[in-house]
Structure 1
Amino acid sequence: MSAEARIDLAELRTLFLFEGLTEEQLRFVADRSSVRAYPENGVVFREGEPSDALWVLLDGTLRLIRHSEDDDVLVNETDHRGAYAGAVRAFASSAAQTYQSSLIAVRPSRFLRFPADDFAAFIQRWFPMAKHLFDGLYVGIQAAEGTVRQREHLAQLGRLSASLAHELNNPAAATVRASGQLRARVAHMRHKLGMIAEGLVEPTTLARLIAIQEAAVERASKKRDPLTPIQVTDLEDELTDHLESLGVTGAIDLAPVFVAAGLDPTWVDDVAADVGPDLESALRWLGYTLETEALMDEIEEASARISTLVESVKQYSHMDQAAHQEIDIHPGIDSTLTMLGHKLAGIEIRRDYDDALPRVPAYAAELNQVWTNLIDNAVDAMDGTGVLTVRTYRDADAVAVDVQDTGTGIPAEVRSRVFDAFVTTKAAGKGSGLGLDNAKRIIERRHRGSLTFVTGSDGTTFTARLPLTAR
């Protein structure tokens, strides 16, 4: 920094900040201000130092930097003459007592330094009404923006909670239903066991039934090609007719159980040949067995689904992991898709993952917020029907993630402002316009990456690039 100099009234008048001031007001500023020159990369003030002056750029280029979570975040860089920073609100009772960022001279620059106390006295003396208006406006804007952002986070949490509740409800209801049906089947099985205990079933017959039972369960457990509803109906009708031809009562109830287990008329004939006149009792016992196995399979699948959802919540929040770490980005994307499962009901999801991607240094939970916003917007753009493609790939020194929809594209009039806060193309009450603003902030400021998009009448693709090395 060079020695301080004075500023003359002629130069002061050329700064937009002091336009319209009277001669007396300009002299007040000039008498109490000084001019300071800084070399390239010179530090004008540092974040956290006492906020003791308002700084106005006379010539050169300034850069404002804020330190956040071990990162230096670029707030602004400009060569606009008259740009100001520092004790901007020194006149306010709620003004910060320290600089909230650092000011660097990018190249040799000159600044007007107006001491904070003199600036406050200047405003109080000549603009007392403006002081109160600006103070109230600033506080009001801060409160309003904070409230809106909080509501956006709560709204996102509400959407995820509703989707998760719906996803959990299905397997939970299936478990309850299957448990009730299983209780009835076990009651029937107890009755059959009572018959065996009373000696009403010959030991040789029992041995044959157990062997048939094990073979039927094994056959039912094997994977089979899925059948269409029409094919299932045709097989059930065929088996019902065959059972009735063998004199089995209640064939219409037994046939669906056997068809679901992959059993056919030939199998029934083999059982008939083996058990003889005890065919109906044998088939009913086998029916109870197969129904019990199917119900246990349903409970197991539903429980596994609940477990998967719980694990997705854990993965989504990263609540038991370090905030910043090297991560595989795919589990976070998958957990987000799981969390949004209910909303994706009518969407075809295509995952085009590069499984050879290296791990990325990232704030995993924050990235999941990005995926949530991008996927949620893509679904809304398609109005609930279409193809959602999530693609990952290596892009030079970064990992890239594409979220592509088949909607109608972003309207031309808002494309240049799509990342601005409070800009939204959704209907009133459907969005706050903060989703993409938050996503861009997380990708670019927190991860030093980039978030871009291409759009047209056939859809929109957002691309997030994440550097492979922490900066």
Structure 2
Amino acid sequence: MSNVISVADLNKVDTFENIPDAQLQWLIEKAEVVELKDGDVFFKKGDPITNTHFMLEGRLSFRAEQAGQFREIAIIEKGDITGTLPFSRTKGAGGMAMATQDTTILSLHKDFFREMIRDHYELTEILVHTMTSRVREFVKKSEQNDKMMALGKISAGLAHELNNPASAVVRSAGELKEQLKLQPDNFKKVITMKMDPNQVDAVNRILFANASAGPQQMSLMEKSELEDDITDWLEDRGVEDGTEIAEIMAEFGFNLDTLEELYEYVPDQFFPPVANWFNSVLSTEKLVSEIDEAASRIAKLVKSVKSYTHMDQSPERQLADIREGIRNTFTILGHKIKKQKIELKENFPEDIPQIKVFISELNQVWTNLMDNAIDAMPDGGTLEIAADFDKDYLRVHIIDSGTGIPEDIIGNIFDPFYTTKEMGKGTGMGLDVVQRIVNQHQADIQVRSKPGETKFTVCFMRNL
């Protein structure tokens, strides 16, 4: 496009479709034409924003700085309006803009806004509509980003936490299937035995007394010694695979005295099949217990996630005990806490009052604050969650023993897209989300930091 812009040129741009020609002529006379080549930088981070920019041709890529690198956050194309707008409080660029095509921009300085508002209604109207759309789109995008970040943290935590119990179910179910294949042969040997009812009752009593007690806790050395003793005892009485049977018997607390009592009720020729039957019953009991324990763990995790996201609940403020949301967040981030060997400390008053909150949104606050705290302790440390209250306020403190926040950047940490993390490890939106949710609760958040201790305090009014 030529440096000389005409009203006819502007009429070809949808943005100016309903603007009177006289107003377009005024815009052409007051504005400056900016021509950019592919790869030219239009503005840099920190540059003052003093103009409204009308995109006539080409494309601009808006990029935010993140840990020394730039990440694309928006594309501006023909017909779009960017830069400052009437009544906007924007002062400086939060990132940089680069042309990714040959680009033509009509740029109007804000010094002409007063005249435009006074004399050119339709032109002012499209800028006001742009401002409204910008705010609406930003809020919509921010809400979506909030949800995606929360979902990302939940997914990562849940995947790690579910993996172990799910694997345990699969492993135990496979072993149980193999174990059941042996049952017909063992059953045949047992059913052909001839024992009187008193003997059968005694054998059942000994078997199920130990089975119902479940696996016993003992040291590795104690268990190993007991297995050796049971193996020798079984093999002395003609039991094959004594080592395998001894392992499960030792686990369920059988000892030589129990085996001697059992031996009194079982004729010599029947003892090997009885021992194998014991092995089958105890192995099945163990595998079923493992599956039950793993399934219970999965159910607990699902319950925690459901409570964390506040599924099937009203989105309105509700009275809640903030400890529940914080503990659910511990569950969600449990894999990360364990991986980095972080010690958790709770310091809550027993009589902590309930407050009215948006439960799901508040859980995002705890998640972002705790996640940042964990990231600040890559080599381990202590994460303490504490609370105190008086008649007017409830305060929650998230304290970590990490590296601390440098004094020269602590004032920027709540700014959108501001992050010190490497590219791909943070969006710079976490604390901005925290700030907005805290404001939504008419609460306040403060941070104090020094090497070895960073403390975020969220202060809620009790009587809302």
Tell me the CA shift for residue 365 of structure 1.
0.7
Residue in structure 1 matching 2:292, options 292, 297, 300: 300
Aligned residues: 351
**CA 1:406–1:180: 2 relative to 1, 3 Å:** same
8 Å Cα contact 2:186/2:273 also seen in 1: no
State the alpha-carbon separation in 2 of the partners of residues 353 and 284 from structure 1.
Answer: 53
- The residue identity in structure 2 corresponding to 1:88 is F
Question: Residue in 2 aligned with 1:315?
Answer: 307
Say yes or no: does 1:349 pair with 2:344: yes
Decide whether aligned partners of structure 1 residues 188 and 155 sit closer, same or farther in structure 2, where only a CA change above 3 A counts: same
Residue among 330, 339, 360 paired with 2:323:
330
Q: Is the 8 Å Cα contact of residues 86 and 127 (structure 2) preserved in structure 1? A: no
CA contact (8 A) 2:190 2:273 kept: no
Shift of 1:155: 3.7
Two-structure CA RMSD over aligned residues (Å): 3.3
2:281 is aligned with what amino acid?
A: T
What is the alpha-carbon distance in structure 2 between the residues aligned to residue 382 and residue 354 of structure 1? Answer: 26
Mark the runs of 5 or more structure 1 residues left unpaired by the alignment: 1-85, 90-115
Alignment of 1:165-180 (within 5 A): 165-180=159-174
Q: Do the aligned partners of residues 337 and 170 (structure 1) sit closer, same or farther apart at CA in structure 2, a change above 3 Å counting? A: same
Matches of 1:308 and 1:282, distance apart in 2: 39
User: Structure 1 stretches (4+) deviating beyond 6 angstroms?
Assistant: 130-146
User: Distance in 2 between the 1:363 and 1:350 partners?
Assistant: 25
Q: SS of 2:409's equivalent?
A: helix
Q: 3-state SS of the aligned residue for 1:345?
A: helix
Q: Which residue of 2 aligns with 1:340?
A: 333
Give TM-score, length-normalised by structure 2.
0.67
1:182 aligned residue (176, 184, 191): 176
Superposed CA deviations along residues 39-76 of structure 1, whole A, max 9, x for unmatched, are xxxxxxxxxxxxxxxxxxxxxxxxxxxxxxxxxxxxxx
Residue 160 (structure 1) aligned to one of 151, 154, 157: 154
- Aligned match of 1:13: none
Instruction: State how far apart, in whole Å, the 1-side matches of 2:163 and 2:194 are.
Output: 43
* CA shift for structure 1 position 428: 2.4
1:433 partnered with 2:425: no
> How far apart are residue 142 of structure 1 and its match?
8.1
The question of 1:466 aligning with 2:460 is answered yes
- CA–CA distance in structure 2, aligned partners of residues 245 and 178 of structure 1: 31
Contact preservation (8 Å) 1:271, 1:279: no
One-letter amino acid of the structure 2 residue matched with residue 337 of structure 1: F
Distance 1:343 1:272 in 2: 51
SS of 1:383's equivalent?
coil
**What TM-score, normalized to structure 1?**
0.66
1:368 equivalent in alignment to 2:363: yes
**Shift in Å, 1:359:** 1.1
Deviation at 1:151, TM superposition (A): 4.3
* CA pair 454-235 structure 1, distance change in 2 beyond 3 A: farther
Deviates more, 1:318-327 or 1:185-194: 185-194
Matched, 1:207 2:198: no
Structure 2 residues without counterparts, runs of 5 or longer: 1-84, 89-112
SS of 1:429's equivalent in the other structure is coil
Corresponding letter in the other structure for 1:206: V
The CA distance in 2 between the partners of 1:354 and 1:297, in whole Å, is 37
Q: Which has the higher contact order (CA 8 A, sep 6+)?
A: 2
Name the amino acid aligned to 2:457. Answer: T
Match of 2:388 among 393, 413, 427: 393
The answer (yes or no) to whether the contact 1:344–1:384 under 8 Å persists in 2 is: no
Hey, what's the Cα distance between the residues in 2 that align with 1:388 and 1:232?
36
User: Structure 1 residue 274: deviation in Å?
Assistant: 3.2
